[in-house]
Structure formats: C-alpha cells, structure tokens
Amino acid sequence: MSAAAHLPALTVVVPLFFAYLMPLLARWRKSWCAATTLAVLAFTFFSSLYLANRVMSSGPFVYHMGGWAPPWGIEFYVDYLAVFTALTISGIGLPVIVYGIKDLPHELKEGVLGWYYTLYLLLMASMLGMALTNDLFNLFVFVEICAIASCAIISIKESRECVEAAFKYLVLSAVGSGCLLLAIALIYMVTGHLNFTFLAATLPGVMAVYPKNILAALALLMVGLGVKAALFPLHVWLPDAHSSAPSPSSAVLSGLVIKIYAVAMIKLLYKVFPATFAGMAPVMAMLLWMSTLAIIIGSMFAIVQEDIKKMLAYSSIAQIGYVFLGVGLASHNALLGGILHIFNHAMMKAMLFLAAGAFIYATGVRKLSQLKGIGVTMPVPAGAFAIGAMAMVGIPVTNGFWSKWYLALGALDAGKPLFAAVVLVSSLLNGIYYLPIIVNAFFSKPEGAVAKPGRLPAVMTGTLVVLGAGCIIFGIFPSLVLGLVSRATRLLLGL
C-alpha cells in the first residue's frame, strides 16, 4: 500500500504526534515551533484536499486502525461530510495560526508559547478525528481531548477573566462529556456495538425492545453535544470563554470547535439513529425551536454588547443556531444550508475575531463606542471586518448569503415558512448590530488611541486579506464547495 492509503489516519496522527513533540522542541529549538506547526497544518490541509479529491472521484471509503475490521477495530469513515469538515478545519486552522505567529507573543507570556502550539495541534487533531471517526467511543475520546485542549487554550492567557471563563467552560463541558459517556454506555449496553454502521443496523430492532434506554441515550447525547456546541439554553459558558481568550483561540473556538459538535450530532442523528425514532420523540421539532430561540435571542444579546469580542461571541450563539436550524428542518436544501454554514461561518467568524484582534493589537481598544473612525486609520482590518459583517448579515456576493438562501429555501421546501421568516428577521437583527460598527468605523473622526494605531505586522494584515478574499470568492463562486456539500447532504438523507 502506498503512503496515500494511510492519509485518513495520518491526517489525525501527524498533528497529534507533533503536538507531543512541541514541548521538546520548545525546550531545545524554540524557533522551530512556529514553522513546524505551520508545516503540520499545511500537511493536514493538503491531505484533506487529497481525501476530498479521492472521495469525490471514487466515493466514500473506510480505514481500519491496525487492520482490524469492525466491529472489533476502530474505523475511520471518509465520506463527503467528513472530508468537508476536515477541509474546513484545516483550511481555517492554517491562516489563523499564521496570524497567531505574530499576535501570540504579544498576548501570551514568553514561557507558554511552545505550549500554545501543542494545544493548538491537539485541538486540530481532535477535531479532525471527530470528523473522520466512525466509532462512538473513539468519538468520545476525541471530544475529551478537544474539551480539555479548548479549556487550556483559553486559560493559557492567565488573566483573571480567562481563568474564570475557562473554569466555567471546564465544568459545563465536563457535564456534557459525562452525559455523552452515559449515553454511549446506554447504547452499548443494549446494542453491543460502538461502530456507527453496526449501530445503525442493530438499533431499529433494539428500539422495539428497549425504547426507554434508547430515548434516554438520545436525550443525553443531545444535552451533551448541545452543551459543547452552545445550543441556545446551554450556551452560558460561551460568551465569556470566547471573548476573553487570545484572538487566535477565539477564532478557532468560535469558528471551528462549536461546529464540530454540530457535525457529530448530524452524524449521529442522520447516520446512526434510524428514521423511526422520530415518532418516539420530537427531536427534530425540539432542535428547530431551540435553534430558532438561539438565532433570535443570541442576536438580541449581541445588540446590547459593548465589548467587540463579546458581541462576536454572542453572534456565534445565533450562528450555531443556523446550523441546527438546517439539521432540524431536515429537507435537502435546509440541511445543505446548515452544513454550508459550518464552512461559511467558520471563515467569516474567524476573520471577524482576527480583525477584532488586530484592532486590539494596534490600539488596545475593545469598546465598540471607542472604535469610531478605525476604518480611516486601519483600512485593511476594518475592511475585512466590514466584509465579515456583511457576510453575517447575508448580503449577496458574500458567502453568508448562500447559506441563508438555502436555509430559507429549505424551510419553504419543508412546508414551514415560519422558519424562512426567522432567517429573514435574524438577518435584520444582524444588520442592527453589525452595520452601525461599519458606518462608525468609516464615517466618523478617529479619536484617542484609534487615531494613532501601532503598526500591524504584514502577516496579520495578509491573513485578513486572504480570509476576506475567501468570503468574496466563495460568495461569487459557491459551486466550489456546493458540489461536496450537496453530495454530503444527499448521502445523509439517503436521496
């Protein structure tokens, strides 16, 4: 077998391997850390591209750890959704850490810089693992790695609010992990399987015998993944955690980490639990209403925020609502919009957080009211912020338009026009809090620290330009990703 055949495992293991190597490098070859991290992430990106190419040309395939076939061994299932998620993770993770190379020494203490790269690679490896795995317990292991790495990547700044936010996150996310573990135990107890494919085959029969076990497991899964994905009533940890973290951390946490749990939920709901369970519990209806509340209330909270990063964090609560809206509607177009939004929102929210980080880097100002005129003195970051804001509102030629378009279409297809109205209303709400910032940034007089910003390193500006260009390019040519997403949706819905 050629090396390419092992890429499903190597995509996860290489970042994991280098995550453990990083503390040693930080000890003896400090200057290599950043370059190694970049090389590893570039490797994951290109291997995800290769996997995507292979899946698109010859269909989904599996990889067995150690050559053991399931139900004994752990299986990676490389399908359309998995490669789409892996591409999103590595494609956004790479520019964020490029930005971080200049930003992190500014935000962190000298001694912890090497550890940051360790945590970042661990986070990437665990998310890629969650995307690719086809095994329930393997999923849980990656969930745990991801939870601990993301708490640490917040508290690494060692300021008072970071530690407090990270602790809150740690406690709530541990509750979520506990729920997941219980759910896995309940499912394993009655089916005897952990592999998704085998579970999907045995669950319909088992469901008739042990309906309560399965329902309890389902409820625990929803709560566990819901806490981690910050689905509306379970979102309380998110605003503090995402706003206090270092900017590159905020960008990956808001852009990628909460989405990966949504992907896990999509996999479980559509691939593992058979369609018949919908008759036993109104799961999809519950998801729909929770996501509707998330969209409306998240946006309303965002309107009243004074701190730029906190506003972006509340906006993430609303945006994760879109993903779950697509999941809950379960029509082809809606699910397509929801999955597409995972990528689109990752790109624009990462860019918005990085742009906010650039403002803070150069001026030290976090308050929205003091950022007036920033567009005059820092045109590139403010321009990127403006593109991101327009993408959030869903203005055509930005990528945000397409996910909202498909969500609204999907709501109509599903015969629930109310939710199309929700998408429209929330776009208005997004406009209410994003547009004044843009107007103030470009059309008022800069004052105070904003008038004389420090110099922004070229790497940080370059990253923002690349991400901004990405938002526009995927807005004009959505077909670049739509083919993959559409096939993922068709496979999930069994069309």
Partner 1 sequence: MEDIIVRYISRIIVPFVQLYGLYVILHGHLSPGGGFSGGAIFAASMILYALSFNLSAGTKKLSHDVSSVLESGGALIFAGMGLLAVLLGTNFLGNRAAGFPLGIPGNLFSGGAIMVITFGVGIKVASTMITLFYSLIEGEGHSHD
Query: CB-wise, 74 or 229, nearer to partner 1?
Result: 74
The distance of closest approach from Cβ of residue 253 to partner 1 in the complex, given in angstroms and rounded to an integer, is 20
Which residues of the chain form contacts with partner 1 (CB under 8 A)?
1, 3, 6, 9-10, 13, 16-17, 20-24, 27, 63-67, 109, 111-112, 115, 156
Element (H, E) at 402: helix 399-413
∠ CA(393), CA(395), CA(396), 5° rounding?
Answer: 150
CB of 64 to partner 1, least distance (A): 6
Q: Work out the burial of residue 307: count CB atoms within 10 Å of its CB; fewer than 13 is exposed, 13-18 middle, 19 or more buried.
A: middle
Nearest residue (CB) to partner 1, 20 versus 477: 20
User: What residues have CB less than 8 Å from 308, skipping those under 6 apart?
Assistant: 356, 359, 360, 366, 367, 368, 371, 437
Contact 30, 114 (CB under 8 A): yes
Distance CA 471, CA 376 (A): 22
- Backbone region of residue 453 per phi and psi (left: phi > 0; alpha: psi in -120 to 50; beta: other values): beta
Residue 416 identity (one-letter amino acid): K
Shortest Cβ 169–partner 1 spacing (Å) = 18
Q: Closest CB to partner 1 among 76 and 301?
A: 76
Q: How far is the CB of 369 from partner 1 (least distance, A)?
A: 35
- Are 426 and 295 spatial neighbours (Cβ–Cβ below 8 Å)? yes
Which CB, 13 or 303, lies closer to partner 1?
13
**Can you tell me whether residue 330 is helix, strand or coil?**
coil
Which residues share a beta bridge with 307?
367
Q: What are phi and psi of 470, to 5 degrees?
A: -60, -45
Using the minimum distance from each CB to partner 1, give the nearer residue, 11 or 427: 11
Nearer to partner 1, 22 or 55 (CB): 22
Both tokens assigned to 99? 């930005």
How many whole angstroms separate alpha carbon 22 and alpha carbon 101? 15
We find the least distance from the C-beta atom of residue 201 to partner 1, in angstroms, to be 24
Shortest Å, Cβ 23 to partner 1:
5
- Shortest Cβ distance from residue 67 to partner 1 (Å)? 5
Q: What is the SS3 assignment for 132-143?
A: HECEHHHHHHHH
- Closest by alpha carbon to 365, among 461, 451, 449? 449
- 224 or 246, CB closer to partner 1? 246
Residue closer to partner 1 by CB (options 127, 438) is 127
Of 364, 391, 411, which is closest to residue 474 (Cα–Cα)? 391
21 versus 182: smaller Cβ distance to partner 1: 21
CB 256 within 8 A of CB 89: yes
Cα of first residue to Cα of last residue in the chain, in angstroms, is 33
Minimum CB separation of residue 122 from partner 1 in Å reads 10
- The CA–CA distances, whole Å, from 449 to 118, 365, 377, 397 equal 34, 7, 10, 33
Q: C-beta of 36: minimal distance to partner 1 in Å?
A: 14
Are 239 and 314 spatial neighbours (Cβ–Cβ below 8 Å)?
yes
Query: Measured from the CB of residue 16, what is the shortest distance to partner 1 in angstroms?
Result: 6
Shorter beta-carbon distance to partner 1: residue 32 or 405 = 32
Q: How far is the CB of 354 from partner 1 (least distance, A)?
A: 25
Closer by beta carbon to partner 1, 122 or else 318 = 122
Phi, psi for 283 (deg, rounded to 5): -65, -45
80: Cα within 13 Å, side-chain hemisphere: 22
